[in-house]
Chain A
């Protein structure tokens, strides 16, 4: 038996079938959580906002066109929530101590990957929220400049300047000579 498509689950969820929305959440929760984790660099906040994103999406499900892909949409809902969260809080949020791990690699390689991933996450977390969000949308959600401008209601010139400055800052932090 093949699993129902996202579209079918959305239609069923619209009719009030909680299980169908639960299945939809199960499919996309890891991706949505990772959007939040890249943006916030804090596991607890990331889980809270990922859940909040799914609650918001459920509230707006009747306005969502089921012919569109659910994944990109829910990731953008999460991105906007994270941006609002970052802009509402003070800039000195505690960063997670958690390190990334890939179990397919040797312990030495794993340690290297963890360290490098942690550097990248820390560099991302050090960016101003507006810079962070354009990096997320461009690099991890593959949106074009125009799509980012539309999503964030920003002029195209601002999107470009945020993105290019963000990359410059990241390069300075990540590629600086030790």
Chain B
């Protein structure tokens, strides 16, 4: 009795529990050994098939390309440019008014301001020391003859306008960099 095709296939695929039995038969049966040899030859043929080189690089299709980076919509770019232009025009137009306004505001120099603050701080510390030495006396904050400079409300418009311009220009610059 010869081995079936199924048993020979299972033997070569290492999918049989009766390996020893099949090998014993193969030793004694030339016909089954020849069939096994034919099947092994087919396995060898299939194993010999070489890999083929890929002509296209599939990986490149999964890499980000500049063209795939999201571009801001055209209207946004245009709006940003118009904003920047409007802000610059406003600054140029407002510049003479700002200079007049600045001349009207009495602001001490930076050095004077620092000196005033230092004096106030020293007096405050002295008052605290006096309080610690004699806590019975009523504590009073020191009063100085140096009033702190109070800026006019209109003066706030100047830094506000400058900050706005920097913000608009900065945004435009960032958008340009993103486009690149």
A interface residues, Cβ below 8 angstroms from B? 18-19, 21-23, 25-26, 29-31, 33-34, 37-38, 43, 47, 50-51, 54, 58, 98, 100, 102, 113, 116-117, 120-121, 135, 138-140, 144-145, 160, 163-164, 167-168, 170-171, 174-175
Determine the chain A residues whose CB is within 8 A of the CB of B15 once the complex forms: 144-145
What's the minimum C-beta distance from B103 to chain A, rounded to whole angstroms? 57
Interchain CA distance A163-B46 in the complex, whole Å: 13
Q: Chain B 29-54 against A: per-residue CB contact (8 Å), 1 yes, 0 no?
A: 00000000011011101111111111
Contact of B50 among A51, A100, A171, A174 (CB under 8 A): A100
Secondary structure class of chain A's binding surface, majority of residues: helix
**Inter-chain contacts of B63 with A (CB < 8 A):** 18-19, 22
Q: A22 touching B45 by the CB < 8 A rule?
A: no
Measured in the bound complex, the distance between the Cα atoms of B58 and A23 in whole Å is 11
Residues of B within 8 A of A (CB): 5-6, 9-10, 13, 15, 38-39, 41-43, 45-64
Q: How far is the CB of A156 from chain B (nearest CB, A)?
A: 10
Q: Are B42 and A174 in contact (CB under 8 A)?
A: yes
Within the complex, the shortest CB–CB distance from A37 to chain B, in Å, comes to: 6
Tell me, rounded to whole Å, the shortest Cβ–Cβ distance linking A4 to chain B.
Answer: 15
Most buried by A among B38, B43, B49, B57: B49
Contact present for B54 and A29 (CB under 8 Å): yes
Looking at chain B's contact residues, the main secondary structure is helix
B21 to chain A, nearest CB (A): 19
Q: What number of A-B contacts does a CB cutoff of 8 Å give?
A: 92
Partner of B55, one of A26, A47, A58, A164: A47
| CB-contact partner of A98 in B52, B58, B60, under 8 A | B52
Return 6 A-B CB contacts under 8 Å, by A number.
A22-B59, A25-B62, A29-B57, A43-B55, A139-B46, A163-B9
Selected contact of A33 from candidates B6, B49, B54, CB within 8 Å = B54
Q: Which residue of B lies closest to A114 (CB)?
A: B50
Given contacts A19-B64, A120-B45, A160-B6, contact A145 B13 (CB under 8 A): yes
